[in-house]
Amino acid sequence: MKKTLPITLVALVSILSGCHDDARTIWKDGIRRCAENDLLGPNILFFGPSNGQGPGTIYVKYKDGSIGLSHLSSEYLNSPDGIIVNGLEFACGENSSVSNTISGSLDLSKILSVPTTISGKLSTAKSISVKTDSLQWVELVVGPYKALVNSQPPANSIRSDLVAGQLVLTRALKVKGMSATLEFSKDKAAALKINLPQNISGYTNSGINFSVGWESDSKLVLTSKSDFYIAGELRHYENNGLASDVIGSLVTDADQLKFYNKQSRP
């Protein structure tokens, strides 16, 4: 049963110059104060706001240590009932606001569900606060999942890729509802109002819809009611029968993994 929860303050960020992993730092420093202290620990892969990378997504790991999408869960989890289970929704306390000094060029498209074409126009903000309605762990159920995979012929691409060493997302952290308040200096706000597209409401990024409105002369509020996954656990698949109580060994230090970037590879 869904809990009735207050809006959750995830992070308050001061934007400075320099070099840092801004996106993960903002989310990690905010939600680490929730009831579960492993929300974005070293074994959790952070992949930014996404609408499709939920449990059952399969990744391939390249020789340079980067990873890339191999199979979406929708390819083979056509009837996820009994295979995917939703945990209880929970929130950080109302007093869990976090102030950070963030360095680097802040790319809002990696933090919020904002298209890159809009993100650049918002990068002049001097502070940003991100809120969520609630957070929720969603995970694969071991027995039914392994039964589904093991029932496939050995040549099936899903089964063969998993057995060959590709990685499966077994648990993912879902963000349910989000709003972000960006504060600008008066001159930056005035310029932004002129340069923002008139039809910014209803923009989508990875299937996430959001609307935008000015709360005051200097504060812009982005609101999304869509759900998206922000991070999760990866495991190797071990074809050792249904007696095992896990799908496979956990990928440790997953927070060090980087996503495949075609532009940076030969």
- pLDDT at position 167, please? 96
Distances from the Cα of 1 to the Cα of 4, 90, 137, 138, 177, angstroms: 10, 12, 14, 15, 17
105 Cβ neighbours under 8 A, 6+ residues apart: 22, 123
- pLDDT at position 59, please? 96
Q: Which helix (H) or strand (E) holds 150?
A: helix 142-150
- pLDDT at position 102, please? 40
- pLDDT at position 51, please? 64
| Whole-number Å distance between alpha carbons of 84 and 170 | 9
| Whole-number Å distance between alpha carbons of 138 and 84 | 7
Q: Which two tokens stand for residue 60?
A: 């391939």
- pLDDT at position 128, please? 76
Range 256-264, long-range pairs (CB < 8 A, 24+ positions):
256/42, 256/65, 257/45, 257/61, 257/65, 257/66, 257/67, 258/65, 258/66, 258/67, 259/47, 259/66, 259/67, 259/68, 260/62, 260/66, 260/67, 260/68, 261/66
Provide the β-strand partners of residue 209. 204
- pLDDT at position 5, please? 39
Q: Which two tokens stand for residue 143?
A: 């027995």
Q: Which residue has the tokens 């963000």?
A: 175
- pLDDT at position 24, please? 65
| Whole-number Å distance between alpha carbons of 179 and 177 | 7
Write out the chain's pLDDT in tens, 266 residues.
444 333 344 445 544 433 335 566 666 665 655 545 556 678 988 877 666 789 999 999 998 889 999 999 999 998 878 999 998 887 754 433 444 444 435 566 666 666 666 667 777 778 777 777 788 899 999 999 999 999 999 999 999 999 999 999 999 988 887 777 888 888 988 888 887 765 455 555 555 566 778 888 888 887 777 788 888 999 999 987 655 678 999 999 998 888 876 544 43
| Whole-number Å distance between alpha carbons of 155 and 158 | 9
Q: Checking DSSP bridges between strand 8-15 and strand 99-102, what pairing results, if any?
A: parallel
- pLDDT at position 158, please? 96
The amino acid occupying position 178 is M
- pLDDT at position 97, please? 40
Distances from the Cα of 173 to the Cα of 32, 55, 249, 263, angstroms: 12, 9, 19, 28
- pLDDT at position 194, please? 80
CA angle 115, 207, 78 (to 5 degrees): 150
